[in-house]
Amino acid sequence: MSTDREAAKLERDMAVPEVDLRNEAKGIATWAQTDGENLHPAALEILGEARRLSEKLEDKTVTSIVIGKNAEKHSKTLIEHGANKVYVISDERLLEYQTLPYVRAVVDALRVIKPEIMIFTASAIGRDLAPRCAARLKVGLSADCTQLDIGMYVNRKKQQRFMHAFKMMRPSFGESKLATIIGPWNYPQSATVRPGVFAPLKSDSSRKGEVVTFDPKWVEEDWLQSVISVEKGGSRIELEKADIIISGGKDLGREGFDMLKELVESIRANGQRSELGASRAAINAGLVSQDHQVGQTGKTVRPEIYVAIGISGAVQHIMGMRDSKKVIAINIDPKAKIFDVADYGIVDDYKNVVPELINQIKSGFTFELDK
Amino acid sequence: MSELKDLSIVVLLKQVPVPKAMKTKADGMMDRSGKSMINPFCNAALEEALKLREKVGGNITVVSMGPPNAKQSLIEAMRKGADKCILVSDRLLAGSDTWATALSLSSAIKKYLPDTQIVFAGLQTIDGDTAHVGPQVAEHLGFQQVTYVDKIEVDGEKLKVRRFVEGGWETFLTPIPVMLSVHKSANTPRGPSLSAALRSSDDKISVVSVEDIGLTKEEVGVAGSPTIVSRVLNVVIERPPVVLFNEGSAKENVSQLLQAINAKEEAN
């Protein structure tokens, strides 16, 4: 768009009357997920993003809500990573996540904090908690966002101009599209965001914050479920933490995936963090378990190095790995879409390339990583 | 302790475009005129409902919201064994976000199926991917909920349900009424059976409107949705063109590739 047209559009937009429906709502709140013992990495990621977003608001307060048994022990970490306030809801019955007590805690806290924006993590637990909180608060919720912003939103039909609308962006399935969701009519404007997408702030022990011990009005009927067993370590696949991800597509078959596993092991033998990834088609073909899935319905990853082997590059897969620092594609089909998003590539059968990769890594090649 | 039996079960079911036919219209809404299917997660939910009914008896009503052509998926659900269906279908519903969708579905359940004890839902749909509707219907109905479910057993008057969490599973005992949202890894859904197919019929689908379920046009569709899609952008992937290493033998290509990866980028 030319500058003239942009200027003309801005002028038309600015002619629409400004409305502000926030009333008392101000600042940003985030939910800091724990696993009973430790903070989930995404707790600090969304806090970092909240801190960055808060620069665009008049009230820059970021409040973190942390729930669990001995939840107060996380306050210091949350403050050092950007929280101005920490609402601590500590209860010994909350070692494991339970929906209704958590919903009670979050909703009660939000009714006191009254933020204009609320951010949850789109983890398995967050995706259980957030929609129910939003329904109880009678506010909208945008799911699995990958980008967030605050800015002007003009609705010509309603003749409304909002200056601080929360813009929640998420990939739209099936196409390489990014949809922006907004809802500046109800507060808090709420979103869940994907783990692994945003970067946490560097810990800074000079940051100061206020810790509020918060007691929700517990209701007995919220406690009717009981956790009778916990199976940990169902998945030890930590795709989000790997520096080098080796991913395979369906056509590799079992034989190919065996080779990829050997490649991952050879990188690990150099002391580097590597994991096996896979496309949705490979998961559906039963070649590896679902916790290896990279892509829109799997995990979003951004490793230092992403190696896509025999992956054609469906949009859904690309959405899950396009923020990787360096992408290497190995595919026999020179027209494969994966080459459009790769930095380096080899057009060849994986059967020729992968053994050679393993060979050279075992003979001493080590990936140089920036960190 | 009494046992659960003769359960009144609802399965929430959404018809979705087949993945290859998925496209958005100019207004950013999903085009639902092409080839469709039952959302795979809803199919897994229906399967769990059928298995539960086999164990303890009861009846299964499928509740769906969508255009009139969603009937084909409801017929399919009856051919697998669902007893009857309710389709909430109305032009006023267009543009509903998850909040308005959950309100509509739960209003239909409250009005036509007030004795419901268990609501099964798919964890999420493959077109919207939000995973919101199950928990939000549970909130409107005041039910317990368990999401990401992959195992269900009857335990006296309660259900023993396993759910996926980060890095493992938790098994809950939950009372009813409850909403269970099912992961598609829970089972392999059955196909149609002859006996069920013979019982299925168009007459067993009640098509109801917004007015029928006691809502107004202000409560549904775009008007009743707290969020809207304000814009849809094409994703531009910003990467320089790929550098290929194809000239030599596999060995040479791989070593050139590895060298290039480790080469420090020139400072600008």
pLDDT digits (tens, 9 = 90+) for B55-85: 999 999 999 999 999 999 999 999 999 999 9
Least confident residue range of A95-99, A314-318, B253-257, B261-265: B261-265
- The overall average pLDDT reported for chain A is 92
Q: Answer yes or no: are the C-beta atoms of A367 and A267 closer than 8 Å.
A: yes
Element spanning B59, H or E: strand B58-65
In chain A, pLDDT over 70 holds for what percent of residues? Answer: 96
Contacts of residue A283 in chain B, CB cutoff 8 Å?
A: none
Q: Is the pLDDT of residue B110 over 80?
A: yes
- E strands in B82-167: 84-88, 118-122, 144-155, 158-165
Q: What pLDDT is recorded for position B265? A: 57
Query: Inter-chain contact B22–A367, Cβ cutoff 8 Å?
Result: no
Tokens in use for A18? Answer: 């400004």
Q: Is the pLDDT of residue B51 over 50?
A: yes
Q: Is the pLDDT of residue A130 over 80?
A: yes
Which has the higher per-residue pLDDT, A174 or A11?
Answer: A11
Does residue B102 sit in helix, strand or coil? helix
Q: What pLDDT is recorded for position B268? A: 35
Hey, is the C-beta of A362 within 8 angstroms of any chain B C-beta? no
Q: What pLDDT is recorded for position B60? A: 98
Q: What pLDDT is recorded for position B3? A: 86
Q: Answer yes or no: are the C-beta atoms of B210 and B92 closer than 8 Å.
A: yes
Least confident residue range of A20-34, A126-140, A192-206, B12-26: B12-26
One DSSP character per residue, A217-280 reads ---GGGG--EEEEEEETS----GGG-SEEEEE-GGGHHHHHHHHHHHHHHHHTTT--EEEEE-H
In 3D, which of A114, A128, A107, A121 has the Cα closest to residue A34?
A121
Which has the higher per-residue pLDDT, B218 or A3?
Answer: B218
Domain ranges for chain A, please list them: 16-223, 239-362
* Closest chain B residue to the Cα of A158, Cα to Cα: B223
- CATH, domain A239-362, list 3.40.50.1970, 3.40.50.1220, 3.30.1330.10, 3.90.1150.10: 3.40.50.1220
Query: How near does any CA of chain A get to the CA of B31, in Å?
Result: 11
Q: What pLDDT is recorded for position A172? A: 73
Surface of A (219-258) touching B: CB under 8 A: 224-236
Q: What pLDDT is recorded for position A191? A: 98
Compute the average pLDDT of residues B126-134.
89
- CATH, domain B7-208, list 3.40.50.1000, 1.20.1250.20, 3.40.50.20, 3.40.50.620: 3.40.50.620
Q: Is the pLDDT of residue B152 over 90?
A: yes
Contacts of residue B165 in chain A, CB cutoff 8 Å?
A: 97, 124-125
* Report field, pTM of the whole predicted structure over 0.90: no
* Closest chain A residue to the Cα of B17, Cα to Cα: A174
Least confident residue range of A230-239, A356-365, B48-57: A230-239
Give CA separation, A296 vs A172, A173, A174, A177, B82, in Å: 9, 8, 9, 12, 31
Q: Which CATH superfamily includes the segment(s) A16-223? A: HUPs (3.40.50.620)
Compute the average pLDDT of residues A168-191.
86
Contacts of residue A353 in chain B, CB cutoff 8 Å?
A: 250, 253-254
Query: Inter-chain contact A135–B102, Cβ cutoff 8 Å?
Result: yes
pLDDT in tens, A301-323: 889 999 999 999 988 898 789 88
Q: What pLDDT is recorded for position B240? A: 83
Please name every residue paired with B205 in a beta bridge, in sequence order, or none if there are none: B85
Which has the higher per-residue pLDDT, A307 or B29?
Answer: A307
Q: What pLDDT is recorded for position A315? A: 81
Q: What pLDDT is recorded for position B267? A: 38
Q: Is the pLDDT of residue B12 over 80?
A: yes
Who among A175, A186, A326 is closest to B24 (CB)? A175
Q: What pLDDT is recorded for position B236? A: 67
Which has the higher per-residue pLDDT, A283 or A348?
Answer: A348
Q: Is the pLDDT of residue B256 over 50?
A: yes
Q: What pLDDT is recorded for position B266? A: 44
